[in-house]
Structure 1
Amino acid sequence: MTPRLHRRGLLRVVAAAAVATIAVAAAPAPAQAAYSTVSSYTTSVNGDAADVYHPVTGSAHSPWPVALLLQGANVDKSAYRGFAAKVASYGFTVVVPNHFQVLFGQPGLYATGAQAGWTVAWAQAENANTASPLYGAIDPQTLVLLGHSFGGAAGLNLTTGLCTPPFCTVPAPAPPQLKAAAFYGTNGTVPQTGQTPPVANTVPVALVQGSLDGIGSPVNGYATYQAVTTPPKLYVSLLGANHYGITDTQNPAGARPETSAQTLDQALSVETAARWSALWLRAQLGDPVGQAWVYSVGDFFDANATAESVH
């Protein structure tokens, strides 16, 4: 298998556009366009306060797969409202918990891979709860991961079955319901050595990387993409975005400050990152429109991104 490098020329674009047109015509209704209306509510996942975003229920297109968003270090769940809502609009139940723990003597919001299993248990219970806004509307057998920075590293760790501190403190195997993952501002490079070990992933992985990220460097992000051993895999460079191109505002309170200025409009950055993440996840769940976007035409039509994939 060889990498697919997008923006290859007019003939390829015409052919890919034709594929996309056919895919749209053949796709199931949930994939043809983002849902216009998304609702949200608060809940608790294994004792962690969490926000849930979902398409308006009552649609024949549910049940919705579950997308767990693992937060960046000390980034409150409220910072992901725009991103989570946009991903939900593509047909997902997006769960964004605040997970508190103490690492190296420092208390704070630090995600852990164990949240994947907790979220599956929550989804099973919530789907059967007649008092829930999502009663009967969740697919608890399908879990996908989203992650930002530290949370993405925790998720990447989970996809390999490893337990590497500080991203994992107690071994927690990936639940069988996990199907795919998409991480923003995430890499597996070891800071002490500058080396990027192989990522022996067990599910498809996408890495979305801000081209101006001053915390998780694009060089390390791309090296991690190259180190992902098992396709399908995707690397997206979000042009003009920095480490907080996924959050509602720059430098969320309590999080590590970003010194590299973002040039891409914040709302557009969030929307673009969410679209690529959601369509990648849909592609891995068999959606032909998602597959056409991420593998063929996405970065031709998206002036704010370039993409490379192997599948």
Structure 2
Amino acid sequence: MTLAAPAPAHAATTAVAGYPTTINGDSADVYHPVTGTRLPVALLLQGANVDKSHYSAFATKLASYGFVVVVPNHTRSLFGVSGLYPEGAQAGWTVDWAEAEDDNAASPLYRRIDENTLVLAGHSFGAATALSLSTGLCVIPFCAIANTAPGELEAVVPYGGNNVLYGTDLVLPVLNNVPIGYIQGTVDGVATPAEGRTTYNLTAGTPKAFIELAGANHYGITNGQNPAGALPDASAQTLSQAVGVETIARWSAQWLLAQTGDSAAKKYVYATGDATDPNVTVTYVK
């Protein structure tokens, strides 16, 4: 079954451009609106061993809502195995990069970046990393060493992430200091809906939301299913890939915009969006 894409009530129409960059030694792709100033920076933290290229469709759509979207490839060793594993220190590195890029007369983003606003999107391992940072701290293994979140961090939107530890039933309270909008595919076989709901229920701070996407699995956010090198999801997705990516990007953008003061986005998140999107069900606490 393939569900139809809804007509977004608050659609993005801004054209997007991109370029490669380096952030603290990591290669990264930047996606940004071709027009506009004081653009907030959205750092997308990748899933374990999911190359940054697999997020190009999602990042382009997210950028069209007015964000500078940065997608790094961060390689490090975790438990003796080298791979693409994001870590919390990337948030601070991205803030430093944004400040330098805004001052760089040769950059297409010269004097266009809001240096005081950082938001986080994350997938899978990257979602757990973003969730860890939302507490104001970042804990091992999501940081190489424990460190604090930058003061510029305003909101987080994880997809396919929770705080269930390595497939066990051990869960810890999430004492978040910034708003969290969990986006959860209903047929995710890697980060299951039950695990996601448990994490949402344990999230103590507000605002928070649990945004369920019918028919999406763990790789509903990537350009295609089961990217090479990543842990595959055996649970079949019934939502088309294009609809899934667009919906996840749209709800990510609306959540992040709502938490940074956009009145139209607040209306979408808290009033009209759920009612007009047949693929989405939202539970939220303002």
Q: 1:39 aligns with which of 14, 17, 35?
A: 17
Aligned pairs for 1:10-29 within 5 A: none
Q: Separation in 2 of the partners of 1:38 and 1:174?
A: 28
Higher RCO (CA-CA < 8 Å; seq separation 6+): 1
Whether 1:51 aligns to 2:29 is yes
Whether 1:250 aligns to 2:228 is no
Could you report, residue by residue, the CA deviation over 1:116-139 in whole angstroms, capped at 9, with x for unpaired residues?
000000000000000001111111
Q: Separation in 2 of the partners of 1:162 and 1:143?
A: 16
Alpha carbons of structure 1 residues 289 and 303: separation in structure 2 relative to 1, 3 Å: same
SS of equivalent residue, structure 2 residue 206: coil
Give the corresponding residue for 2:54.
79
Q: Separation in 2 of the partners of 1:88 and 1:45?
A: 18
Aligned pairs for 1:67-146 within 5 A: 67-146=42-121
Q: Separation in 2 of the partners of 1:161 and 1:141?
A: 16
Q: Separation in 2 of the partners of 1:162 and 1:65?
A: 22
Q: CA deviation at 1:189?
A: 1.6
Q: Separation in 2 of the partners of 1:251 and 1:209?
A: 17
Q: Is the 8 A contact 1:51 1:95 kept in 2?
A: yes
Letter in 1 for 2:186: S
Q: CA deviation at 1:140?
A: 1.1
Q: 2:172 aligns with which of 197, 205, 209?
A: 197
Letter in 2 for 1:39: A
SS of equivalent residue, structure 1 residue 160: coil
Q: 1:207 aligns with which of 176, 179, 182?
A: 182
Whether 1:239 aligns to 2:214 is yes
Normalised TM-score (structure 1) = 0.87
- Equivalenced residue count is 278
Q: Separation in 2 of the partners of 1:289 and 1:192?
A: 38
SS of equivalent residue, structure 1 residue 230: coil
Whether 1:292 aligns to 2:267 is yes
Give the corresponding residue for 1:7.
none
Normalised TM-score (structure 2) = 0.95
More helix by share: 1
Q: Separation in 2 of the partners of 1:162 and 1:142?
A: 18
Give the corresponding residue for 1:279.
254
**Structure 1: runs of 5 or more not aligned:** 1-23, 25-31
Could you report, residue by residue, the CA deviation over 1:159-182 in whole angstroms, capped at 9, with x for unpaired residues?
113443221221221100000000
Q: Separation in 1 of the partners of 2:150 and 2:129?
A: 14
**Percent of counterpart pairs with the same letter?**
57
Q: Separation in 2 of the partners of 1:197 and 1:129?
A: 42
Q: Separation in 1 of the partners of 2:68 and 2:225?
A: 25
Q: Separation in 1 of the partners of 2:224 and 2:168?
A: 32
Could you report, residue by residue, the CA deviation over 1:57-85 in whole angstroms, capped at 9, with x for unpaired residues?
3x3xx210000000000000000001111
Q: Is the 8 A contact 1:206 1:234 kept in 2?
A: yes
Greater Rg by CA: 1
Whether 1:151 aligns to 2:126 is yes
SS of equivalent residue, structure 2 residue 134: helix
Could you report, residue by residue, the CA deviation over 1:261-309 in whole angstroms, capped at 9, with x for unpaired residues?
1000001000000000100000001111111111112111001111110
Give the corresponding residue for 2:6.
none
Q: CA deviation at 1:206?
A: 0.8
**Structure 2: runs of 5 or more not aligned:** 1-8
Whether 1:223 aligns to 2:201 is no
Which ranges of 4 or more aligned residues in structure 1 deviate by more than 3 Å? none
Q: Separation in 1 of the partners of 2:167 and 2:158?
A: 22
